[in-house]
């Protein structure tokens, strides 16, 4: 070998560890792994390789730039840390060249559960049942199906089915708990006295029925795991209930007084300007009928309202008075 070639080979050998290379203008870029399928809890290191026209290659991982469409994921250095479940894309750029890596992310391990409803406390009357449900989340807040959930109740206030249907058995304060492995969630529950049949003016029927029957063993052994139907609760207004009285008296007394005075005033005006004839009894009947009709339409409970009766009696009284003031016709 000539001295010149020997010198060039020696220089190449000495400076190769310092990053001096013989790669020409890169023509393509590749990333390893070329596709990713991860859970949201995982991460992976990326390796980027550039190639020139002579097929010479060089690792350009540290010299490349990175971006990812995963809104909860990130790239730290050259490592991608997964975030939100879904399909995303990692983009790598080096000296004008671009390479992409398709990414599929699934939810990670369960780290949190949330019970619904969760009013804290959740109020449950003794004559009702409540359907509880739960949602699971991983560390990146991805929804996840809760594996092997177990429902329970503390405080001795009731029972709960495997489907989360809570049935109260006595008054008190307790907790509804769901457990999955080492993860738990709970909500405070206060049981209160049964609601009366007059509490709801509009009848409402709440029916919660859960029947789970598990039959196993072909040898004739039947394991009946049956949750009896939950009570059917019907709130039906009864005749003459206190709710009707509340509806009838919800308006202010002074408003009733104004209406009464206005009605009597109208009758007095008619008395002053309309000749007293045999038609007065018919007029009284019409006023009474209209008055009771209006009250019935607006309150639905005329028997409990005093002012229509006073208005009618006042009208009849004015009629009698007017009749007595009528000049007597001389007898033939």
pTM greater than the 0.85 cutoff: no
C-alpha 262, offset from chain centre: 50
Q: What is the pLDDT of residues 154-191, one digit of tens each?
A: 999 999 999 999 999 999 999 999 999 999 999 999 99
pLDDT of 247 reads 44
Q: In what order do the strands lie in the sheet with 57-59?
A: 26-32, 47-52, 57-59
| Tokens matching residue 271 | 């008395």
Out of 14-23, 109-118, 268-277, the most confident range is 109-118
Query: Does position 240 have pLDDT exceeding 60, yes or no?
Result: no
Kindly indicate whether the domain formed by 16-106 is annotated with CATH number 3.40.50.12280.
no
Q: What is the DSSP string of 84-151?
A: SSEEEEEEEEETTEEEEEEEEEE-----EEEEES--SSEEEETT--EE-EEEEE-TT--EEPPSS-EE
Query: Does position 67 have pLDDT exceeding 50, yes or no?
Result: yes
Out of 30-39, 260-269, 318-327, the most confident range is 30-39
Indicate the SS3 state at residue 218.
coil
The second-level CATH assignment, the architecture, of 112-235 is Sandwich (2.60)
Q: What's the chain's average pLDDT?
A: 76
Whole-number Å distance between alpha carbons of 319 and 69: 88
H-type alpha helices, the chain:
3-15, 242-248, 253-273, 280-299, 307-325
Nearest to 80 by CA among 143, 38, 140, 108: 38
pLDDT of 329 reads 59
User: 50 has which bridge partners?
Assistant: 29, 58
Whole-number Å distance between alpha carbons of 118 and 99: 48
Whole-number Å distance between alpha carbons of 139 and 110: 7
The answer to whether 97 touches 48, Cβ cutoff 8 Å, is no
Percent of the chain with pLDDT over 90: 50
- The two domains 16-106 and 112-235 share their CATH topology (first three levels equal): yes
The answer to whether 162 touches 179, Cβ cutoff 8 Å, is no
Nearest to 72 by CA among 138, 135, 134, 136: 138
Q: What is the pLDDT of residues 278-329, one digit of tens each?
A: 556 566 666 766 776 666 566 555 555 566 667 677 777 766 666 666 666 5
Lowest-pLDDT choice from 130-134, 222-226, 244-248? 222-226
Q: Where are the domains of the chain?
A: 16-106, 112-235, 243-325
DSSP code of residue 71: S
pLDDT of 295 reads 63
Q: What is the pLDDT of residues 87-119, one digit of tens each?
A: 999 999 999 999 999 999 999 999 999 999 998
Nearest to 305 by CA among 324, 291, 318: 291
Nearest to 59 by CA among 71, 45, 80: 45
Query: Does position 202 have pLDDT exceeding 60, yes or no?
Result: no
Whole-number Å distance between alpha carbons of 302 and 308: 8
Whole-number Å distance between alpha carbons of 168 and 158: 4
The answer to whether 95 touches 105, Cβ cutoff 8 Å, is no
What is the maximal distance between C-alpha atoms in the chain?
A: 168
pLDDT of 41 reads 96
């Amino acid at each position: 070998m000539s001295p010149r070639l020997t010198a060039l080979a020696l220089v190449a050998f000495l400076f190769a560890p310092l990053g001096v290379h013989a790669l020409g203008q890169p023509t393509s870029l590749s990333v390893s792994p070329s596709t990713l399928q991860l859970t949201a809890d995982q991460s992976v290191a990326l390796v980027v390789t550039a190639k020139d026209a002579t097929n010479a290659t060089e690792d350009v991982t540290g010299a490349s730039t990175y971006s990812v469409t995963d809104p909860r994921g990130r790239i730290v250095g050259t490592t991608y840390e997964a975030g939100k479940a879904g399909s995303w894309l990692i983009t790598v750029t080096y000296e004008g060249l671009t390479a992409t890596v398709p990414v599929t992310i699934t939810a990670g391990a369960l780290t949190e559960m949330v019970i619904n409803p969760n009013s804290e406390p959740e109020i449950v009357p003794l004559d009702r049942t409540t359907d509880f449900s739960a949602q699971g989340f991983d560390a990146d807040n991805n929804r996840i199906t809760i594996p092997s959930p177990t429902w329970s109740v503390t405080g001795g206030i009731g029972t709960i089915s495997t489907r989360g249907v809570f049935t109260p058995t006595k008054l008190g304060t307790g907790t509804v708990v769901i457990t999955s492995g080492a993860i738990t969630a709970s909500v405070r529950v206060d049981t209160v006295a049964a609601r009366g049949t007059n509490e709801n003016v509009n009848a409402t029927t709440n029916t919660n029925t859960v029947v789970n029957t598990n039959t196993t063993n072909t040898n004739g052994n039947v394991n009946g795991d049956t949750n009896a139907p939950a009570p059917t609760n019907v709130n039906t207004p009864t005749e003459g209930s206190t709710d009707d009285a509340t509806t009838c008296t919800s308006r202010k007394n002074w408003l009733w007084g104004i209406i009464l005075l206005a009605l009597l005033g109208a009758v007095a005006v008619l008395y002053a300007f309309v000749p007293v004839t045999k038609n007065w009894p018919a007029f009284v009947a019409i006023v009474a009928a209209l008055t009771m009709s209006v009250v019935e339409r607006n309150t639905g409970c005329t028997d409990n309202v005093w002012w229509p009766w006073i208005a009618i009696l006042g009208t009849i009284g004015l009629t009698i008075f007017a009749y007595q003031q009528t000049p007597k016709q001389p007898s033939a």
